[in-house]
Amino acid sequence: MNEDNDFNRDYNRHEEDEDKQREDNQGQFNFPNNNNNFRNIALIVGAIILSLILFQTLFNSPANQDEISYTEFLRQVESGRISEVTIKGGLINGVYQGGGEFVTRGPPESVDYLPELRDQGVKITYEEASESNWFFSLLISLLPVLLIIGLWVFMMRRMQGNNALNFGESQANLVNKEFSEVTFDDFAGVEEVKEEVQEIVEYLKNPERFKKLGAEVPKGMILVGAPGTGKTLLSRAIAGEAEVPFYQTSGSNFVEMFVGVGASRVRNMFEKAKENAPSIIFIDELDAIGRKRGAGLGGGHDEREQTLNELLSEMDGFDPNEGVIILAATNRPDVLDPALLRPGRFDRKITVPTPDINGREEILKVHTKDKKLAEDINLDVLARRTPGFVGADLENLANEAALLAGRKGKDIVEMNDFEESIDRVIAGVKRKGMAISDEEKEKIAYHESGHAIIGKLLPNADPVHKISIIPRSNGALGFTLQLPLEEKFLVSKSELLDKLTTLLAGRTAEELIYNEVTTGAQDDFEKSTDIAKRMVVQYGMSDKLGPINLGRENGNVFLGEEIVKSNEHSEEVSSLVDKEIRKIVEGCHEKAKDILNHNKEVLKKLAEELIEVEELEGDQLEEILDQAALPAGYSPATGNS
């Protein structure tokens, strides 16, 4: 019993603490109060019900009254069936001789029926018509309009908070240090980026140390990087580390259906930040309002451009903007207006890159610190197996591994769970129930075996790690996983040629075994053609065209390529580009054919083993691939035999 009382006291105290925390959070973050919304709904519904009751009372007859025509009323008078009438303007209420009530409307000036009523001894009562009926009649007629206005006010309150007309008020949330659990320790993988951002926090904590040297803090910093690299996470870490007010908003919050709202919200946001200076404003997805002005089919001065103009003015306009640091994030820096990126506005452009192998290992440590891991977990191996993964991918990887372990009923997460989760992230979920005929399964096995043998033998190709012919949810019927031994930042021509040869090896294996081709190499062709095209028009790797760049990496940021495309090169150059691309692809195709012809028996053995077990990796895969060899006279330097 005492234990129950203690539990109840603790539970009540916990509930009180949670209520207090919710109130503090609402005041801190300026979230709309849902209770006010329910109160508004109740008031509107109550007003509608009251109006209907009022209408029923004033203008409708009681339920037991029979409304008759004026002609019928005169007929009843002549018949002597009426015992009592009450005349009120043009409204006549009466009672029949045998009981029952009626109501009718007639001209007030008509008195033709009165003498006959008096002769019959009918009780007659007069009441003066109330002038207020005109008011209520007008009120009832305006009721639909009032209801529409009330609904509009209610919707505006839901959209804008408690004030129905505060369209121009900033939607930025104030985040104090106490309400952000993320710190710089949670951001790993790119230490140099973290050091640059920490400088701002240090300046805000100890500005005198910089001011005595004559240094000024940058007015703005923009974080640029691919999606998932941690730009928003880094801003949350700044909010958790900085001891100044931190205003967080998104670029889309400034754009509304009403003209001038975006510019007004920008002014309001900077006013709040200046009142609490020094402070930080963080704008996520800056490209939503920061795109180049005057672009597009119509150009013009639209609402988005007004918002951008106001932002430019507030950041570095006529009036000095002191004590407010602007932090922004975007993954589309190519579409931003140049005026945003000049010194005095966004002084620093910080690129948040894709993490290297060491960075991926550090990120995995962050995302696995709260998970129960088996002793066989090797984060270094996982980091090597995940080239190109960004922070969001690695977080998803760790979570997928934990989910897989839980689905299997395990108490800890093992290495094979991570291996399987990597395959799920790269290739998709296994579709073991997909019905594939034995003939198609055999063709898929030869296709993937061709990739694996070429990838194993070519000196500049990435080593083969795994082969699978199990269909995946992304549409792939099989895949060959190749992993680089080390991070590469420059790619040579021989490496690109070996990659092209490996891509074309699947189609080549089908040709050798079946003397016909299938549609399974579509994705390989897309990748190989793109690589060959870039070699010719961008990388200057064509002997005939020489070291020139004919490519066009980015088109117009608002118009489709079909609209802005123009003939930048002569027909002769375009024709030569096509011939060089074809020459590279066909050369790699011939190399793949020569190597696979030389290793036809190994190709068959690998395909048969793959059909039996469906997946090959590790020693079992290496044992078969070690039997393959390059043709005699093959030159690794040139790739020619």
Residues 388, 488 within the same domain = no
Residue in the structure block whose two tokens are 């790619």? 491
Examine the domain organization and report whether 183 and 240 are in the same domain. yes
**pLDDT given at position 451:** 92
My answer on whether 620 and 540 are in the same domain is: yes
pLDDT at 640: 42
pLDDT digits (tens, 9 = 90+) for 291-306: 887 765 444 456 778 8
Determine the pLDDT at residue 42.
64
**Residue-averaged pLDDT of the chain:** 77
pLDDT per residue as tens digits for the range 592-602: 999 999 999 99
Q: Is residue 70 part of a domain?
A: yes
Residue 94 CB coordination number (10 Å): 26
315-364: per-residue pLDDT in tens?
876 666 677 888 899 988 888 888 888 888 888 888 888 888 888 999 99
User: Does the model's pTM come out above 0.85?
Assistant: no
DSSP-derived secondary structure for 289-341 = T-BPTT-SSS----HHHHHHHHHHHHHHSSS---SEEEEEEES-GGGB-HHHH
pLDDT band at residue 565 under the 50/70/90 scheme: very low
Q: Assess whether 511 carries a catalytic annotation.
A: no
503-518 average pLDDT score? 91
* pLDDT tens digits along 268-282: 888 888 888 788 888
The side-by-side arrangement of strands in the sheet containing 324-330 is 173-175, 246-250, 279-284, 324-330, 220-224, 348-351
Judge whether 135 lies within some domain.
Answer: yes
The pLDDT value recorded for residue 10 is 44
Q: Among 39-48, 68-77, 254-263, 444-453, name the most confident range.
A: 444-453
Domain holding 314: CATH number? 3.40.50.300
DSSP bridge partners of 220: 326
How large is the average pLDDT for residues 469-495? 82
Structure confidence at residue 32 (pLDDT): 40
Domain carrying residue 93: 64-128
Q: How large is the average pLDDT for residues 80-91?
A: 78
Indicate whether 386 belongs to any domain: yes
pLDDT of 9 reads: 44
Banded pLDDT at 500 (limits 50, 70, 90)? very high
- Examine the pLDDT at 375 and tell me if it is beyond 80: yes
Contacts of 422 (CB under 8 A, 6+ apart): 382, 385, 386, 397
Tell me the C-alpha distance between 456 and 480, whole Å.
11
Residue 428 pLDDT exceeds 60: yes
Euclidean distance between CA atoms 367 and 350, whole angstroms: 24
Task: Say which of 241, 303, 448, 510 is annotated catalytic.
Answer: 448
Question: Is 69 domain-assigned?
Answer: yes
Which candidate, 427, 420, 371, places its Cα nearest to that of 395?
A: 371
Residues 521 and 419 occupy one common structural domain = no
For residue 515, tell me if it sits in a domain: yes
Q: Tell me how far apart the alpha carbons of residues 498 and 242 are, in angstroms, rounded to a whole number.
A: 50
Same domain, 42 and 162: yes
Helix (H) or strand (E) holding 221: strand 220-224
613 or 301, which is more confident?
A: 613
Residue 632 inside a domain? The answer is no
pLDDT for the residue 312: 86
- Of 24-33, 256-265, 546-555, which gets the smallest average pLDDT? 24-33
Question: What pLDDT does 58 receive?
Answer: 52
Same domain, 217 and 310: yes
- Give the domain CATH number at 101: 3.30.720.210
Are 447 and 520 contacting, i.e. CB atoms less than 8 angstroms apart?
A: yes
Band the pLDDT of 47: cuts 50, 70, 90.
Answer: low
Same domain, 205 and 340: yes
In the predicted structure, residue 4 carries a pLDDT above the cut 60: no
Please, are residues 316 and 289 in contact by the beta-carbon 8 Å criterion? no
Q: Using pLDDT thresholds of 50, 70 and 90, give the confidence band for residue 39.
A: low
Co-location of 191 and 333 in the same domain = yes
Is residue 4 a part of any domain in this protein?
no
Q: List pLDDT tens digits, range 576-595.
A: 989 999 999 999 999 999 99
Q: Are 445 and 510 in contact (CB under 8 A)?
A: no
Span 124-155, pLDDT tens digits: 777 765 555 556 666 666 767 777 777 776 66
Provide the token pair at 497: 């040629």
Proportion of the chain above pLDDT 70, given as a percent: 74
Find how far residue 38's CA is from the centre of its chain.
29
What is the distance between the alpha carbons of residues 443 and 440, in angstroms, rounded to a whole number?
Answer: 5
Lowest pLDDT segment from 294-298, 372-376, 533-537, 613-617: 294-298
Same domain, 90 and 105: yes
Residue where a domain terminates, one of 401, 427, 453:
427
Whether 379 is covered by a domain: the verdict is: yes
Q: Is the peptide bond before 107 cis (omega within 30 degrees of 0)?
A: no
Please state, as a whole number, how many other Cβ atoms lie within 10 Å of the Cβ of residue 9: 10
Q: In this predicted model, which residue has the larger pLDDT, 245 or 639?
A: 245
**Range in 128-142, 418-432, 485-499 with the lowest mean pLDDT:** 128-142
Residue 162 pLDDT greater than 50, yes or no: no
In this structure, the answer to whether residues 160 and 214 fall within a common structural domain is no
In the predicted model, is pLDDT for residue 17 greater than 60? no
The average pLDDT across 79-104 equals: 79
What CATH number corresponds to the domain at position 515?
1.20.58.760
Instruction: Give the per-residue pLDDT at 27.
Output: 40
pLDDT attached to residue 15: 46
Mean of the pLDDT values across residues 283-287? 87
Half-sphere exposure of 411 (CA within 13 A, CB side): 1
Q: Which of 31-45, 232-246, 297-311, 389-403 has the lowest mean pLDDT?
A: 31-45
Based on the fold, state whether residues 145 and 239 are members of the same structural domain.
no
What's the pLDDT at 573? 84
Copy the structure tokens of residue 631: 């043709």
Q: Please count the other Cβ atoms lying within 10 Å of the Cβ belonging to residue 195.
A: 10
Total of domains in the chain: 5
Q: What is the pLDDT of residue 178?
A: 55
**Residues 448 and 591 occupy one common structural domain:** yes
